[in-house]
Structure 1
């Protein structure tokens, strides 16, 4: 019997969320942290990848753009995080809930990637001497969330 994937389509428009307790605990810990930063410190540098510059060559147009869309983008992200927090123990998700999970997991990865200064050149080879440092734990979370997001996207795409 093949091991369960973390997210599997059920065939009826819903998805089985097959997460272990430690995986759920990770999500339950990270979601409020990101929510707090978004709600209380929307200008925090850790959010740079969530709100990339749209008009880098025109500061006035960029400021106008940010004024026009920033609050709505923050609100949508907060709503997604709230839904994921409410569904942290769920074992079945509908399409809207899965989309919220995908968005929240992606947002968390973007913020972690900023914190870790992840670039396309990173190979993240493990260093056993640093197995329990805060950075190695954050890197492990970053890679786990990427793996989880990949499975969420695959499950969602298989239902189309």
Structure 2
């Protein structure tokens, strides 16, 4: 499938999802990996820290209180977004709530992958022989797809 709009809002208010079989297969493989990571809740894992960022870096008590208040809710939000993506990966039409969940899930996938690859704003293009090249290509695709979702949602504003 050539690169083109993957998600567009229809006149009926739904969203048409246009992904190739290869894209769907690729995306199908990712949510379970992130769910496994967040369910492990190893606070030392940089990816987990990225998904559950600290609010108080220098105040242990305040940070513990904050995490006690929000961690379970944020964890459930991440799980639900990943579940919606898994359940609708083969759908041709999504409603707005499902599209918002896709946006969250794509963002979570990007955050984890970007953290694992040490992606930063000043990242230079890498040679195809670089062992990070496949991961960076996936990161670029997820970023592009996330942009497509944002643009489709903007049509409702």
Counterpart in the other structure of 2:39: 39
Q: Secondary structure at the match of 2:16?
A: strand
Given that 1:83 and 1:100 are in contact with CA atoms closer than 8 Å, whether structure 2 keeps it comes out as: yes
Shift of 1:49: 1.6
- Give the RMSD, CA atoms, in angstroms: 1.6
Q: Secondary structure at the match of 1:70?
A: helix
In structure 1, runs of 5+ residues without a counterpart are none
Distance 1:69 1:96 in 2: 22
Given that 2:47 and 2:116 are in contact with CA atoms closer than 8 Å, whether structure 1 keeps it comes out as: yes
TM-score by structure 1 length? 0.90
Counterpart in the other structure of 1:89: 90
Structure 1 runs of 4+ with >3 Å offset = none
Shift of 1:144: 0.2
In structure 2, runs of 5+ residues without a counterpart are none
Aligned residues: 155
Shift of 1:42: 4.8
Given that 1:47 and 1:114 are in contact with CA atoms closer than 8 Å, whether structure 2 keeps it comes out as: no
Q: Deviations over 1:56-83 (max 9, x none)?
A: 1212101110111101100111011111
Given that 2:9 and 2:15 are in contact with CA atoms closer than 8 Å, whether structure 1 keeps it comes out as: yes
Shift of 1:15: 0.6
Counterpart in the other structure of 2:147: 150
Q: Secondary structure at the match of 1:48?
A: helix
Given that 2:41 and 2:48 are in contact with CA atoms closer than 8 Å, whether structure 1 keeps it comes out as: no
Given that 1:14 and 1:95 are in contact with CA atoms closer than 8 Å, whether structure 2 keeps it comes out as: yes
Counterpart in the other structure of 2:69: 68
Distance 1:47 1:38 in 2: 6
